[in-house]
Structure 1
Amino acid sequence: MKQWYALIFAVIAEVSGTTIMKKFGNDESIMMYCIIFSFIGISYFLLAKAVTRIPMSTAYAFWEGVGLAAITFIGWSVFEEKLPIAKIVGFSAIFIGIILLNFGTVCGEKHE
């Protein structure tokens, strides 16, 4: 169960780093780059911890899909980026894929 917490915090760190990158993209100070790289590094570290018990395909799909959805929501709500129907349909497909990957992982596991 703690691997799922690591995965969730990996998503939060990735989304935070990407949001900071967008918000302060014109700030070229070393400190800003250190902050961004720290969040991205923490995200990858936690993702590595998560894949010790969660199948890599499921963990990566969750990390990428949920992160993408969160970044899109932040882009739309905070940065006023457009969200056409094609993107909404695409995100729906991603979430269905994540659910199917997780379902396939649970059904395919051997219980001893």
Structure 2
Amino acid sequence: MPSSLSAYGLLAFAIVFEVAGSSMLQRSEQFTRFIPAVATIACFAASLFFLSQALKAIPLGVAYAIWGGVGIILTTLVSVFVFRFTVDLAAIIGIALIVAGVVVINVFSNSVAHS
């Protein structure tokens, strides 16, 4: 079983690959471009592999909350800075609420194994 620190490192890799996969999904143009489509599948597979390894030391709900929360922030940043999408106030508030939920889980929940 990985240590808590290395489990969070594995979770970070899972997040990076998930964001890369989402970005490549945009580039694949609905899976009509071969190389971006293959890269999408490879990135999502790697993401799920690293997430599964992180789950050896991090509870599922906590890991998924962090994976989803950080993933949505990074994916939004990629969308804004790489793909030039705009984000309105409602989207920013929604993302902030998701981040707040992740913070509450990690700081106040007994479900999190603090080392």
Please tell me the TM-score bracket, short chain as reference: 0.7 to 0.9
Deviation at 1:3, TM superposition (A): 0.7
Structure 1's 42 and 70: CA in aligned 2 closer, same or farther, altered over 3 A? Answer: same
Runs (4 or more) in structure 1 with deviation over 3 Å come to 29-32, 107-111
SS at match of 1:36: helix
Q: Tell whether 2:71 aligns with 1:63.
A: no
> What is the TM-score of this pair, normalised by structure 2?
0.84
Match of 1:4 in 2: 8
Match of 1:73 in 2: 77
Deviation at 1:55, TM superposition (A): 1.2
Contact 1:10 1:47 in 2 (8 A): yes
Aligned partner (choices 57, 60, 76) of residue 53 of structure 1: 57
Aligned length: 110
Deviation at 1:33, TM superposition (A): 2.5
Aligned partner (choices 88, 97, 102) of residue 98 of structure 1: 102
Contact 2:59 2:111 in 1 (8 A): no
Contact 1:6 1:49 in 2 (8 A): yes
Distance 2:107 2:22 in 1: 29
Q: Give the share of equivalent positions with the same residue, in percent.
A: 26
Structure 1's 109 and 95: CA in aligned 2 closer, same or farther, altered over 3 A? Answer: closer
Aligned Cα root-mean-square deviation (Å): 2.1
Q: For structure 2, list consecutive stretches of 5 or more residues without a partner in the other structure.
A: none
Contact 1:57 1:101 in 2 (8 A): no
Distance 1:60 1:110 in 2: 14
Q: For structure 1, list consecutive stretches of 5 or more residues without a partner in the other structure.
A: none
Structure 1's 59 and 109: CA in aligned 2 closer, same or farther, altered over 3 A? Answer: closer
> What is the TM-score of this pair, normalised by structure 1?
0.87
Structure 1's 67 and 108: CA in aligned 2 closer, same or farther, altered over 3 A? Answer: closer
